[in-house]
Structure formats: C-alpha cells, structure tokens
C-alpha cells in the first residue's frame, strides 16, 4: 500500500521551486511539521533574507517578512520585541548569515534574543552564482575560487555553531544533517526542540542544517549527498553545542 505523507498545515499547497536535489524543501517541511505539532502557526512570524532562502516566504503559511541581506536577526529582534507574544524565526543561508550578516547573528545571540535561527549550510553561495562562501571548505572550487579555497590566503571556513557557542546567552545550539532519512528524523527532533524553547520563551535557539547545492557544486543530486558526507561532515561535525535545559533541568 502506498503511503502519501500529508502536507503540514504550516506549508502552503504550492510546489517548491528549488533546484533538483536541493534540501531547502526538507528543512521547510521539518520546520512546518514542528509548527503544527506545537500549534504555533497562527502565533509565528518568520524572516527570510536574501539568497535562496528568500523564497521561504512563499512556502510557509504564516506571517513572513523579508529582510535585507544579512539583516534577518536584526529584523527578527524588532519583531519579537514589538510582539513578545509571537514566536519569531529566521531562515538563512551561509552566505547571508556567516558573511554580510555576521554582526547581526553574533549580537542577536549575545543578547539572548528569544528567536530561533535556522541556518542552511551548503558551503557556497547558491542564488548569486556559486561564489565562495565563509563556509566553503579548504580546496573546494567555486566560481570565485576556481583553483580551490586557499586557507593560508583566504582563511578557514567559519564554524557558526561553535562560534556562537562561545557566547554565554544562547539557550540551544545544534548542528544537524539532512543527508539521509535517518539523519532527517534526528534533525526533526532538534527543530522541534528549538521551536518549543522559543514558544516557552527560554532564549536564543539555533539550528544549523548541513545541506547540499548540486547545481553550484556541479554534482548530481544523489552524489552531492555522498560528497557532503565525505567532506562537509569531517569539518562541520554534527552535534549539540549548547542545551541549557540539560543544565537547568538536570539532564531531562
């Protein structure tokens, strides 16, 4: 018997327009399912900045705003402080969050703003032509590093989860993978926890998704997942970097 997954109420009934093999749709579904389970759709506002993530406002069936490139955490801060009764999240790519938006994400986290940040890390700029991003791996070829990223010249990739975990205020920080069904199921639990803590007003929560960009990597969709597993997961280790509920609540 064929089993057809029901569309979450928090997703609009329209087809995704992302490239074949892109995992933005998977991330969207995990967020939408968690919104439904927590019954917060009508009490949620999201922020989509510039990049492939800008299309999020078309797909989530909740109030959405668009921010300038990198400014989503600042916009989300204003939204949350003006409407503290709402759950507010941002949905950002690595070029957006870890490059032009570095100041915004660091200071929002440092203030402990009661928002949730969903960060999609595919190690490259997606929408604008496959340029090198702050997360591009050493030796990885892009349109602006055709000979591979030279870490001695350009520096090493930024590990956003580890960076934010050095701050005192964030409540929950975790890096998850979207590269297999088993990992997606684990990621779903983390997304649910982040939004649950948001609903409970516990503070700043951050989920980093390890994803793929078959189009700009120049790799077939299935092979792109293998490439990410063999290369990205060695540098961006999966795991929880902060969960204050385990400290405050005795490891629950």
Does the pTM surpass 0.85? The reply is yes
What value does the mean pLDDT take over residues 15-34? Answer: 96
User: Pairing between strand 63-66 and 205-210?
Assistant: unpaired
Three-state DSSP at 14 gives: coil
Q: Domains in the chain, ordered, with CATH?
A: 24-244 (3.40.50.970)
Could you read off the pLDDT of 186-208 as tens digits, one per residue? 999 999 999 999 999 999 999 99
Q: What per-residue confidence (pLDDT) applies to 104?
A: 97
Q: What per-residue confidence (pLDDT) applies to 251?
A: 44
- Going edge to edge, which strands form the sheet with 44-48? 63-66, 44-48, 87-93, 116-121, 205-210, 172-177, 239-243
Could you read off the pLDDT of 96-132 as tens digits, one per residue? 999 999 999 999 999 999 999 999 999 999 888 889 9
Could you read off the pLDDT of 58-81 as tens digits, one per residue? 999 999 999 999 999 999 999 999
Q: What per-residue confidence (pLDDT) applies to 5?
A: 73
């Amino acid at each position: 018997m064929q089993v057809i997954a029901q569309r979450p109420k928090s997703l609009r009934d329209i087809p995704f327009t992302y490239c074949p093999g892109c995992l933005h749709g998977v991330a969207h579904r995990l967020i939408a399912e968690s919104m439904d389970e927590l019954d917060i759709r009508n009490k949620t506002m999201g922020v989509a900045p510039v990049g492939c993530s800008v299309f999020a406002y078309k797909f989530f069936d909740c109030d959405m705003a668009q921010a300038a490139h990198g400014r989503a955490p600042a916009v989300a801060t204003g939204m949350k402080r003006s409407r503290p009764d709402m759950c507010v999240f941002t949905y950002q790519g690595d070029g957006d969050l870890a490059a032009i938006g570095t100041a915004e994400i660091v200071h929002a986290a440092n203030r402990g703003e009661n928002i949730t940040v969903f960060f999609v890390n595919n190690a490259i700029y997606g929408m604008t032509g496959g340029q090198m991003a702050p997360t591009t791996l050493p030796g990885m070829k892009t349109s602006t590093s055709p000979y591979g990223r030279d870490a001695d010249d350009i520096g090493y990739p930024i590990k956003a989860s580890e960076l934010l975990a050095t701050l005192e205020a964030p409540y929950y920080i975790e890096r998850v993978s979207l590269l297999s069904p088993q990992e997606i199921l684990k990621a779903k639990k983390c997304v649910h926890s982040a939004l649950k803590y948001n609903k409970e007003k516990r503070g700043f929560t951050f989920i980093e998704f390890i994803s793929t960009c078959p189009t700009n990597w120049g790799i077939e969709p299935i092979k792109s997942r293998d490439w990410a597993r063999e290369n990205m997961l060695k540098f961006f280790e999966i795991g929880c970097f902060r969960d204050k509920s385990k400290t405050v609540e005795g490891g629950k």
